[in-house]
Chain A
Amino acid sequence: MATRDHEPEESSKKIQYPLDAKAYKILDEIGVGVSAVVYKAICVPMDSILVAIKAIDLDQSRADLENVRRETKTMSLISHPNVLRAHCSFNVDCRLWVVMPFMSCGSLQSIISSSFPDGLPEPCIAIVLKETLNALSYLHNQGHLHRDVKAGNILIDSDGSVKLADFGVSASIYETNTAPGWGQSTSSSPLMLTDVAGTPYWMAPEVIHSHNGYSLKADIWSFGITALELAHGRPPLSNLPPSKSLLMKITKRFRFSDYETKKNFKSKKFSKAFKDMVASCLHQDPSNRPSAEKLLKHFFFKNCKGTDFLVKNLLHGLPSVEERFKGGKNSHKNGSDGEDTGSELVKQRRISGWNFNEEGFQMEPVFPTEAKDDTVVKQVRFGGETIIPDNKSSGSDYSGQCNLSSPKQDGEEAQVVTQGESEGDNRELTASASESMGGSGGDGGEVDREAMVGGLVALRRSLDEQRQQVSNMIVLLGGEVSREDQLVQLNDRLRMELEAEKQKNFELEMELEFLKLQISGAYNSGGTD
């Protein structure tokens, strides 16, 4: 900590960049997102120094001003060589301009997709990861979660310096009480966040199942995924189980099919140290993951080379950021500068867990094998927005899945079924229920009893409905007289019998009366006579 006598004032005082759009000259577009564009520009009065300007359309961005305020505040109160700091921010009509240092080599994601499609060499990965860890360690010490660690947010300058960028979704664990957005935290610990943010592939399991709350260790998970991304050229999502529709969806959208077919990365050798380091980040249980500070001491980083190694081995001969952005735009792949591309992904999915295969050095996501997954439990949105849990209880996925699977409650699935199909359905329901049990044991470590009971009740209700449908079907096919019909007939028969009895009774009563009259008549006549 540099605390020299006259320095402190200076070290915390930023050089004031002009707060006026006229002072900047835009040169090129280098990134584009849902509600933001990133430009390369020069600041004319400051010796025409290069800057990157992120222009956020405040009217379009659904994130409210409060979130934008928090982002820029975080960025302007941060001072670390590995964290991208904003020079200043000001508004130009309905756009907010955030002026930042220009990182001339762009994001690692864009470097990889343009020049290293199968991943980076291990020595380069070590340097990049170490610099990134320095940033994370600093942020975590400040109580900030980054929440979106990925290659697309790691920027490199021509001198090889590495900076972690994009605080679009960062949050401070100290601010959970004050920030209105986080107010609904159900977690008892104040140092836990419970909303979902980030980009799917890099997201830790506890972030996806966010009702349990998560903390700094979620960034360590994303860091581990980022390590794999650097090693293989893309985030892990290969070796999906043949869950037809789901696999289709993912491969269609993200072109991961080649990840499986192209086996050549298996021939790529990574050191044991690297594998061990990544494995430690990818523990299911957050508490088993090391802190950023501790991770820095891992022997993988021990003989790490300096950043000039990156200049020679990684940055040499790279196309410029602008060229890459344009190339990426044409082929419409992940080619653009990473600034905001991640936030474009809006998709629905559910992963019940991850298995890290240390041997093969890959992540294997565990999807519920049930094809009914299409009725996704959680809808996750990105770009600083929060999730909308599909089921109101927001409690657990498991009850949600059961409910959604029950045909009567889900309009789409309510269908007229033949006997055979209906039985099949029932089997599937049972399967998905037990699947959920397995899942809950996996990540929570305990079965949510309430949710389970809810699920079973829904299941029973659905079974009743199924039975009813089956009987109707049988009746429809004329195969058998339904119980109800039998009852109706029985009822009719009984009613007729009853009528007959009543008639008989009436007749008997009449006869009795008649006899009484005769007797009394006999008495009377006998008495008076």
Chain B
Amino acid sequence: MKGLFKSKPRTPVDVVRQTRDLLIYASSGSDIRESKREEKMAELCKNIREMKQILYGNSESEPVSEACAQLTQEFFRQNTMRLLITCLPKLNLEARKDATQIIANLQRQQVQSKLIASDYLEANMDLLDILISGYENTDMALHYGAMLRECIRHQTIARYVLESQHMKKFFDYIQLPNFDIAADAAATFKELLVRHKSTVAEFLSKNYDWFFADYNSKLLESSNYITRRQAIKLLVDILLDRSNSVVMTKYVSSRDNLRILMNLLRESSKSIQIEAFHVFKLFAANQNKPPDIVSILVANRSKLLRLFADLKTDKEDEQFEADKTQVVREIVALEPRDR
């Protein structure tokens, strides 16, 4: 097969152009015969595969950066990304996977040391709306989800998603019954909340009230084990990040938050308990504990101390033990107010 095509090697630009033409054809209504259309779709899939091979290489050859740059430039010069995204449901599974990998790869391609994908997306923010709503479509969710995660590597794009109304929907997507999709949504949610530190810090302080109210009630108090486990882990990542210190201070001053964390400490799941401890220690270590926090800790002192005595990590973890000793010391030293 290889020998057949060797006579007329197509440039990366040719491949992108032909793909675009075929995508336009695929997205338009079909007014031609079935067989003809079938043929065109097969050709489209072949072109998509070829683009992937230019970008990723194959078993025989590594990708060539010059070819990648040409492809990237041509791809974003016109609206190929939009066409590919909107036509995705019309492609077969293999072509969908190829397309997803192409779009993922292109987000990192630099042309003259510029990420032109970022510029393109900034001018086409509505594409993100399509990608995000993909979580509501079982067949598209994993493809659109993977593309979305690559797009939010760009800070401006992540900010757009964080500040959009979509952010609220993630709390539901994370709890979808289909594990694959829910886990994919959770991975995207996490990426949004940890990758771009300054943007995240700004988002959290602006949206503190609704965000943590939802985070507590929908995620940390969810009836779904995986949701709770992922949520508590992410909460640790968020609060322990230095750039979120203002948010952290606010979080550990609320008795409602403390109550939720203490419930998580009592879970039968070891993983959840350990993660919950990492948040709880922040409440205990806070040197300006509000009186209501102090009184809760004092009232539950013996229970907490018993719990910590039994709480151990599977592998030996010196840091964990040191933290535990510190927390226990803090709790023991608290002045009982009821006496």
Please give the residue numbers on chain A whose beta carbons come within 8 Å of chain B beta carbons, in ascending order: 1-5, 7-9, 11-13, 16, 19-20, 58-59, 62, 65-66, 68-69, 72-73, 76-77, 79, 88-91, 93-94, 96, 140, 142-143, 174, 177-178, 189, 191, 216, 291
Binds A, one of B54-62, B241-249, B290-298, B326-334: B54-62
Collect the chain B residues with CB atoms within 8 Å of residue A91's CB: 179, 224-226
A81 CB to closest chain B CB, in angstroms?
Answer: 13
Task: Name the B residues within 8 Å of A16 (CB-CB).
Answer: 138
Task: Give bound CA distance, A469 to B79, whole Å.
Answer: 78
CA distance A509 to B184 in the complex (A): 98
The answer to whether A72 and B180 touch across the interface, beta carbons within 8 angstroms, is: yes
For residue B236, CB closer than 8 A to chain A, the reply is no
Extra inter-chain contacts (9) besides given A3-B92, A8-B92, CB under 8 Å: A1-B45, A8-B91, A8-B93, A8-B95, A19-B178, A58-B229, A88-B179, A91-B226, A142-B97
Stretch of B33-41, B164-172, B206-214, B279-287 at the chain-chain interface:
B33-41
Q: Do B187 and A77 have beta carbons less than 8 Å apart?
A: no
In the bound assembly, the distance between CA atoms of A73 and B92 in angstroms comes to: 17
B230 touches A65 (CB 8 A): yes
- The answer to whether A73 touches B177 (Cβ under 8 A) is no
In chain B, positions 257-312 with a C-beta closer than 8 Å to chain A are: 269-271
Interface positions, chain B 195-254, Cβ under 8 Å from A, are 224-226, 229-230
The smallest beta-carbon distance between B48 and chain A, in angstroms, is 11
Are B42 and A96 touching (Cβ within 8 A)? Answer: no
Q: Is B96 among interface residues, defined by CB-CB distance under 8 A? A: yes
Q: Is the CB of B269 within 8 A of A90?
A: no
* Interface membership of B139, Cβ < 8 A: yes
Known: A11-B92, A58-B225, A59-B271. A5 touches B97 (CB 8 A): no
Q: Would you mind naming 22 contact pairs between A and B with Cβ atoms under 8 Å apart?
A: A1-B45, A1-B94, A8-B91, A12-B96, A12-B139, A58-B226, A58-B271, A65-B183, A69-B179, A69-B184, A69-B187, A72-B183, A73-B142, A79-B93, A79-B94, A90-B178, A90-B179, A140-B59, A143-B56, A177-B108, A178-B104, A189-B62
**What residues of A have a CB within 8 angstroms of the CB of B90 in the complex?**
8-9
Residue of B nearest to A143 (CB): B56
**Assembly CA distance A1 to B49 (angstroms):** 12
Asked whether, in the complex, the Cβ of B177 is within 8 Å of the Cβ of A90, the reply is yes
- Can you list the 6 inter-chain pairs with the closest CB atoms, starting with the nearest? A12-B93, A8-B92, A19-B177, A69-B183, A89-B179, A3-B42
B contact residues, total (Cβ < 8 Å): 44
Q: Give the contacting residue for B180; candidates A3, A11, A62, A89; CB below 8 A.
A: A89
Given A1-B94, A3-B41, CB of A76 within 8 Å of CB of B59: no
Q: Is B336 an interface residue (CB 8 A)?
A: no
Known: A12-B139, A16-B138, A89-B179. A73 touches B184 (CB 8 A): yes
- Determine chain B's interface SS by DSSP, over half rule: helix
Chain A nearest Cβ from B188, distance in angstroms: 12
How many residue pairs link A and B with beta carbons under 8 A? The number is 103
Bound CA–CA A65/B187 (angstroms): 10
A5 touches B41 (CB 8 A): yes
For the complex, what is the distance from the CA of A401 to the CA of B152, rounded to whole Å?
46
By a beta-carbon cutoff of 8 Å, the part of chain B in contact with chain A is 30, 34, 37-38, 41-42, 45, 56-57, 59, 62, 89-97, 101, 104, 108, 138-139, 142, 149-150, 177-180, 183-184, 187, 224-226, 229-230, 269-271, 314
Q: A1-B42, A12-B139, A140-B59 known; A96 and B179 CB under 8 Å?
A: yes
Within 8 Å by CB of A11, from B93, B150, B177, lies B93
Contact for B59 among A8, A58, A66, A216, CB less than 8 A: A216
Q: How far is the CA of A178 from the CA of B177 in the complex (A)?
A: 25
Residue of A nearest to B230 (CB): A65
Identity of the chain B residue whose Cβ is nearest the Cβ of A11 in the assembled complex: B92
Min CB distance A220 to B, Å, is 11
Whole-angstrom distance between the Cβ of A11 and the nearest chain B Cβ: 6
Across the interface, which residues of B come within 8 angstroms of A79, CB to CB? 93-94
Residues of chain B contacted by A13 (CB below 8 angstroms): 139
- Name the A residues within 8 Å of B37 (CB-CB): 5
Q: Contacting A191 at CB < 8 Å: which of B45, B57, B95?
A: B57
**In the complex, are the beta carbons of A12 and B92 less than 8 A apart?**
yes
Contacts of B45 in A (CB 8 A): 1, 3
Contact B101 A174 (CB under 8 A): yes
Of B269, B271, B314, chain A has the most CB atoms within 10 Å of the CB of: B271
Q: List B contacts of A94 (CB < 8 A).
A: 225, 269
Given the interface pairs A59-B271, A62-B314, A65-B230, the reply to whether A76 lies near B92 with Cβ below 8 Å is no
**Contacts A9-B90, A69-B184, A73-B184; A20 near B62 (Cβ below 8 A):** no
Output the least CB separation between A283 and chain B (Å).
16
Expressed in whole angstroms, the Cα–Cα distance for A290 and B229 within the complex equals: 44
CB-CB under 8 A from A96, the residues of chain B are 179, 226
Across the interface, which residues of B come within 8 angstroms of A291, CB to CB? 59
- In the complex, which of the residues B56, B92, B314 contacts A174, with contact meaning CB atoms closer than 8 Å? B56
Q: How far is the CA of A177 from the CA of B34 in the complex (A)?
A: 41
A36: min CB distance to chain B, Å: 14
A65–B92 contact, CB under 8 A?
no
Q: How far is the CB of A87 from chain B (nearest CB, A)?
A: 11
Residue numbers in B under 8 Å from A5 (CB-CB): 30, 34, 37-38, 41
